[in-house]
């Protein structure tokens, strides 16, 4: 348990791109690459081209009052997180009624049908909480898409004209996102999807909130988190933090993920964090899992890898070179004390404390991914991490040895 004698100071800086933050505002003259264009130009990447075609057609269809009303009604009634709609289901459902309306508005119903069937599962929703709260189904709206988080969003107005938006901040005009499906069909809509995401500062001197009075036993538990950033662009909606418990893969000199902890990890490993802080109770690794791992790999530690998921829940979609670099940099900085293991204090009491790391390569990762999860960092026991944050027991550090977050871990 850390002692609050010094707080972590962290400043999260963003590289702001001077794009047109609202279609009604002029484009900065020193950024001709962000100039608005009324001409439709096919981008070189096939997936990106398809998604932009779908977004443009959807925008044109939104000029039709009946189609727009159906979109508004579908979003308002959606039980899913952030009021998401599955695009193919929306357009193909009810005897293709909305696809027919789109075809009438654009003259490209057959081509849209082909694109939708060739595309992965897609979604449409309003990712910005204030846009969700304020849009009433009017024609004051843009339709935008991106392939990867951090790219410049390509948006279309209801006349099909293209606009390039600021990736760092949304425009005042409401924006519908048409992009690869990130949700889960059975994901509930939490209260946060209605009230919006409250802005919070970074780590700075703030403490983790106290955990709720939950009586649970049986392993290593996560009871509080704080991150310096959401690690998610505004067009991608709320963040989806995950923690992967990595350990030696049997018979190899590599690591593998033994357990995912996150919004879609399944009970009792679920925790959903829509803001920069979270307090609750989520199992990380059960008593049985800890015992089984120790039996199979005596003396080996477990690495805690923190991601912001962009593509597929509980799957590590990060370039292997980035992960390997992260581990090597921090192993060098902390003499390989970058893992953790259960240590018995008494026959009835134990703690999770720092341990030596033996492996830095994660099994199954490729050196290429079209969509990468954000690599938030790996956890190191505090005060070994060199920083103290009130209420935290482990700090999350990135490959620059900079703190990006804090965790409170408890053995129960």
> What pLDDT, on a 0 to 100 scale, did the predictor assign at position 45?
83
pLDDT band at 148 (very low <50, low <70, confident <90, very high): confident
Say yes or no to pLDDT of 313 above 80.
no
Number of helices (H) and strands (E), helices first, in the chain? Answer: 8, 16
Q: Are 229 and 202 in contact (CB under 8 A)?
A: yes
- What confidence score (pLDDT) does residue 191 get? 31
Q: Please state the rounded mean pLDDT for residues 159-166.
A: 93
How do strand 162-164 and strand 219-227 relate by DSSP bridges? unpaired
Residue 365 has pLDDT above 90, yes or no: no
Please give the mean pLDDT across all residues of the chain. Answer: 78
Q: Which of 171, 184, 183, 284 is nearest to 224 (CA)?
A: 284
Between 87-106 and 109-118, two packed helices, what is the crossing angle to 10 degrees?
160
Please state the rounded mean pLDDT for residues 262-284.
86
Tokens describing residue 330: 């921090």
CA distance 5 to 3: 6
The pLDDT of residue 13 is 31
Mean predicted confidence (pLDDT) in 391-401: 89
Higher pLDDT: 250 or 364? It is 250
Q: Supply the pLDDT for residue 373.
A: 64
* Half-sphere exposure for 111 (CA within 13 Å, toward CB): 11
Q: How many CA atoms lie within 13 A of 400 on its CB side?
A: 7
The predicted structure's pLDDT at residue 183: 54
> Is the separation of the CB atoms in 383 and 2 below 8 Å?
yes
Average pLDDT for 5-33 = 33
Average the pLDDT over 134-146 and give the result.
94
Min mean pLDDT across 26-40, 231-245, 350-364, 367-381 is at 26-40
pLDDT in tens, 177-187: 998 876 544 33
How far is Cα 274 from Cα 236, in angstroms, rounded to an integer? 12
| Cα within 13 Å of Cα(24), Cβ side | 6
DSSP 350-408: EEEEEE------BTT--S--SSPPEEEEEEEETTTTS---TT-SEEEE-TTS-EEEEEE
**Alpha-carbon gap, residue 283 to 411, rounded angstroms:** 10
Quick one: pLDDT at residue 366?
67
Rounded Cα distance between 386 and 354, Å, is 13
Distance in angstroms (rounded) separating the CA atoms of residues 10 and 13: 10
Higher per-residue confidence, 362 vs 374: 362
For the chain, percent of residues with pLDDT exceeding 90: 42
Q: Answer positive or negative: Cα dihedral of 181, 186, 215, 245.
A: negative
Q: Write the pLDDT tens digit of every residue in 297-310.
A: 999 999 999 988 76
Ordered by start, the domain boundaries in the chain are 32-195, 219-411
Q: How confident is the model at residue 371 (pLDDT cuts 50, 70, 90)?
A: low
Q: What pLDDT, on a 0 to 100 scale, did the predictor assign at position 93? A: 82
Give the residue-averaged pLDDT of 99-115.
91
What is the per-residue pLDDT for 208?
A: 52
pLDDT digits (tens, 9 = 90+) for 197-244: 222 233 433 355 555 544 445 899 999 998 887 777 777 777 788 999
Q: Which residues pair with residue 124 across a beta bridge?
A: 85, 178
Please choose, from the candidates 369, 386, 341, 387, the residue with its C-alpha nearest in 3D space to the C-alpha of residue 246: 341
Q: What token pair was written down for 370?
A: 């079209």
SS3 content of the chain, % helix, strand, coil (to 5): 25, 25, 50
Average pLDDT over residues 324-330: 92
Res. 347 pLDDT band, cuts 50 70 90: confident
Question: pLDDT tens digit string along 23-65?
Answer: 333 333 332 333 333 344 444 588 889 999 999 999 999 999 9
Say if CB 222 and CB 284 are below 8 A apart: yes
């Amino acid at each position: 348990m850390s002692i609050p004698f010094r707080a972590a100071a962290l400043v999260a800086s963003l590289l702001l791109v001077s794009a047109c933050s609202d279609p009604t505002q002029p484009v900065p003259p020193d950024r001709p690459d962000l100039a608005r264009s009324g001409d439709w130009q096919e981008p070189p990447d096939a997936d990106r081209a398809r998604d932009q075609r779908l977004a443009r057609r959807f925008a044109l269809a939104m000029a039709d009052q009946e189609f727009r009303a159906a979109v508004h009604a579908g979003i308002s009634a959606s039980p899913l997180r952030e009021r998401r709609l599955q695009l193919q289901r929306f357009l193909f459902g009810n005897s293709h009624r909305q696809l027919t309306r789109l075809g009438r508005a654009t003259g490209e119903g057959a081509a849209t049908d082909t694109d939708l069937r060739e595309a992965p599962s897609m979604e449409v929703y309003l990712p910005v909480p204030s846009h969700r709260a304020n849009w009433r189904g009017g024609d004051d709206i843009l339709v935008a898409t991106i392939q990867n988080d951090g790219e410049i969003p390509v948006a279309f107005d209801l006349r099909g004209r293209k606009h390039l938006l600021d990736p760092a901040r949304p425009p005042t005009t409401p924006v519908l996102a048409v992009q690869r499906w990130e949700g889960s069909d059975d994901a509930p809509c939490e209260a946060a999807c209605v009230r919006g995401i409250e802005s919070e500062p970074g780590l700075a001197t703030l403490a983790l909130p106290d955990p709720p009075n939950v009586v649970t036993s049986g392993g290593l538990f996560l009871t509080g988190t704080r991150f310096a950033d959401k690690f998610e662009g505004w067009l991608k909606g709320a963040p989806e933090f995950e923690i992967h418990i990595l350990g030696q893969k049997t018979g190899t000199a590599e690591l593998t993920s033994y357990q995912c902890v996150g919004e879609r990890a399944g009970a009792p490993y679920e925790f959903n964090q829509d803001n920069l802080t979270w307090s609750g109770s989520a199992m990380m690794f059960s008593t049985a899992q800890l015992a089984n791992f120790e039996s199979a790999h005596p003396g080996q530690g477990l690495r805690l890898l923190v991601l912001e998921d962009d593509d597929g829940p509980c799957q590590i979609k990060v370039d292997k070179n980035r992960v390997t670099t992260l581990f090597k940099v921090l192993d060098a900085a902390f003499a390989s004390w970058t893992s953790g293991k259960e240590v018995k204090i008494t026959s009835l009491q134990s703690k999770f404390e720092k341990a030596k790391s033996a492996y830095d390569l994660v099994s199954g990762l490729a050196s290429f991914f079209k969509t990468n999860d954000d690599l938030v960092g790996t956890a190191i026991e505090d005060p070994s991490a060199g920083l103290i944050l009130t209420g935290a027991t482990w700090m999350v550090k990135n490959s620059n040895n900079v703190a990006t977050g804090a965790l409170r871990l408890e053995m129960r």
